[in-house]
Amino acid sequence: MVMIALGSDHGGFEIKEAIKTYLSDKGIPFIDFGTDSLESVDYPVYARKVCDSITRGESELGILCCGTGIGMSMAANKHKGIRAAVLNEEFSAEATRRHNNANILCLGGRIIDGKKAVKLTEIFINTPFDGGRHTKRIGMFE
């Protein structure tokens, strides 16, 4: 089973907590790198923790939550080997795994609610990479 790294700032804290409940209920292992409250924090700190977990091989996938998901995706995509996608709907959650082999899902707690965050998480972690022609294209990112 895949290990999931979780991180959020204050803007994404509530949807991160909803995702944690889902993962726990499904028996999916995860590491929560924080934050642990609604108190204002700097999102790049948590993006780095999740990215480092993935690049070290400790986690296979990550989920980062902030107000919009955009800041987290920008911070995460600065790390070599990270392919973070900010998503708000189901089609993109599936497509980014199938075609882009995204390894981090970025969500916005001021854009979507916990129920939608869980649905996108479910799709993201259960959709395989298609490989084939997409492997070459991903190699062109580096």
Q: So which residues are the catalytic ones?
A: 66, 99
Tokens 């993201």 — which residue?
124
Estimate to the nearest angstrom the gap between the alpha carbon of 14 and the chain centroid: 15
Closest C-alpha among 122, 78, 77 to residue 103: 77
Closest C-alpha to 107, from 9, 4, 2, 1: 9
Run of H or E residues at 1: none
Cα(73)–Cα(79) distance, integer angstroms: 10
